Amino acid sequence: MARFRRNIVPYLFLLIPVIIYLVWVIGPMFYTFYLSLTDWDGLTSPTFIGLRNYERLFHDKVFFLSLKNNLKWLLAFVTIPVAFGLLLAMALNKSIPGEKIFKMNFYMPMVLAMVVSGLIWGWMYHPKGGLINTFLVATGLFKKGPGWLSDRDIVLYSIIIVAIWRQVGYVMVLYLAGLKSINPQLLEAAHIDGATGWQTFWRILLPLLTPVTIIVLVISVIDSLRAFDLVSIMTRGGPANASSVLANFMYIESFNNYKMGYGSAIAVIIFLISLGFIFLYLWRVMQDELEY
């Protein structure tokens, strides 16, 4: 009887949340898949047009430009904030003087409204009066500071910097929680056994943090492919689409140009790319997961 109860229990636990999720998220998601096969202005009824939207996408210069930008963003996100966040979490894990202040300081960017972050950094990037350029010119190394947001070659990176500024705190919080779940006795045992700091880190700590790292990498991929707010606020994808990213492109097509079908197609592409990265990764990782 206990066996039967145990078998049914997971389903009971999952019943309500899964239903809620199906109705509010998965349902609309499939509706979006359907919409990508239509021409819809968002107001009247959609008209079915098959794969026309996708055909159009493959001829759209802006699409490929946005895709390239997202991939650059992805590369930046799975490396820099992850490494940095981990280092910070490790440094702040012990009781060091002022640790609460440090933690709050690094988390603060996440807390500040995106609009304001975009605004502040916009001022910092100001070509003449901005903080960064004023500083650079003052050091005498530059005659004129670079056009952080107006130069088509560097605008994307300028925005990615702001994204990293925000993301590091997020990753730090995740790793802090992860570190707290690790049994300190394990680390002590290694120390007693004569392992060096580096060995302890690489061979013991990092593997123990794997579940967290999985989360961190997955969300880094997702967040970089879905990046939207900062681009929308700081440059709207400009100048001339140089900083365009897929989500921004999708938003403009859907809401500005009343082409919700086309926008949905872009969303589906984002979905498929994320799916590709994540599911391959998760599937492999889950094979290795310890059985219970």
Partner 1 sequence: MNWNIDMENAREYFKSPWRVLIYIVLVITALLWFVPILTALITSVRSFDDILTNGFISWPKTITFENFLTAWNRGGLNKYLPNSFKITIPSLVLTMFFSSLSAYALARFKFPGNRWIFFTYVGGMLLPFQVLLLPVLRLTDFLGLYDTYWGLIFFHTAFQLGFCTFMLRNYMRTVPSEIIEAARIDGCGEIRIWAQIMLPLTLPAIAATATLEFTWIFNDYLWAIILLRSDSLKPITAGLATLQGQYVTDWPVIVAGALIGTLPTLLVFLFLQRYFIEGLTLGSTK
Partner 2 sequence: MKHKFSSLIGFVIVLAILLSACQPTTETIIETVVVEKEGETIIKEVEVPVDKPVLIYNSYMSDPDPRVADAEAVATFQAAHPDYEIIHSTVAHEDFKTAIRAYLTASTPPDVLTWFAGNRARFFIDNDQIMDISDVWESEGWNTSYPKGFKAVSTVDDAQYFLPTSWYWWAVYYRVSIFEELGLETPETWDEFLVVCETLQENGYTPIAIGTKYRWTAAGWFDYLNMRVNGPEFHINLMLGTESYADPRVADVFEYWRVLLDEGYFLEDAAAYSWSEALEPMIAGDAAMYLMGDFIRDDLPDETEADLDFFRFPIIDPAVLIGEDAPTDGFFIPVNSQHPEEAKEFLAYLGSVEYQTFFAEKLGRLPTNFDVDKSLFTETQQKGLALIEGADFVAQFYDRDTTPEMADEGMNAFMAFWDDPDSIDELLVDLEAARLEIFVTE
Write out the binding residues for partner 1, residues 133-172 only, by CB under 8 A.
134, 165, 168, 170
How far from the centroid of its chain's Cα atoms is residue 242's Cα? 20
Indicate the residue type of 36: S
32 near partner 1 (CB under 8 A):
yes
* 102, 150, 157, 215: residue in contact with partner 2 (rule CB under 8 A): 150
CB-nearer residue toward partner 1: 26 or 240? 26
Write out the binding residues for partner 2, residues 120-149 only, by CB under 8 A.
125-128, 147-149
Residue 259 contacts by C-beta under 8 Å, 6 or more apart in sequence?
39, 40, 41, 253
| d(C-alpha 190, C-alpha 184), whole Å | 10
The neighbour count for residue 159, using CB atoms within 10 Å, is 25
* 67, 74, 159, 176: residue in contact with partner 1 (rule CB under 8 A): 176
Strands (E) located in 114-205: none
* 119, 136, 137, 204: residue in contact with partner 1 (rule CB under 8 A): 119
HSE-up (13 A, CA, CB side) for residue 162: 28
For partner 1, which stretch binds (CB under 8 A), given 5-13, 56-64, 74-82, 150-158?
A: 5-13
CB-nearer residue toward partner 1: 64 or 152? 64
Indicate the residue type of 42: G
172 near partner 2 (CB under 8 A):
no
Residue 258 contacts by C-beta under 8 Å, 6 or more apart in sequence?
41, 42, 43
26 binds, among partner 2, partner 1, none (CB under 5 to 8 A by kind): partner 1
Residue 101 contacts by C-beta under 8 Å, 6 or more apart in sequence?
none
Contact indicator for 102, 92 with CB cutoff of 8 Å: yes
276 binds, among partner 1, partner 2, none (CB under 5 to 8 A by kind): none
Closest-CA residue to 4 (of 12, 209, 270): 12
Contact indicator for 36, 57 with CB cutoff of 8 Å: no
CB-nearer residue toward partner 2: 44 or 139? 44
Contact indicator for 118, 111 with CB cutoff of 8 Å: no
| d(C-alpha 81, C-alpha 169), whole Å | 8
Taking residues 250 to 279 in sequence order and writing x for each that binds partner 2 by CB under 8 A, - otherwise, the string is: --x--xxxxx--------------------
CB-nearer residue toward partner 1: 31 or 64? 31
57 binds, among partner 2, partner 1, none (CB under 5 to 8 A by kind): none
189 near partner 1 (CB under 8 A):
no
- Give least dist CB 232 to partner 2, A: 10
| d(C-alpha 131, C-alpha 113), whole Å | 21
Write out the binding residues for partner 2, residues 6-65 only, by CB under 8 A.
41-44, 61
Contact indicator for 285, 214 with CB cutoff of 8 Å: yes
* 79, 105, 196, 256: residue in contact with partner 1 (rule CB under 8 A): 105
258 binds, among partner 1, partner 2, none (CB under 5 to 8 A by kind): partner 2
- Give least dist CB 30 to partner 2, A: 19
Binding stretches for partner 2 (CB under 8 A): 41-44, 61, 125-128, 147-150, 152, 235-236, 238-241, 252, 255-259
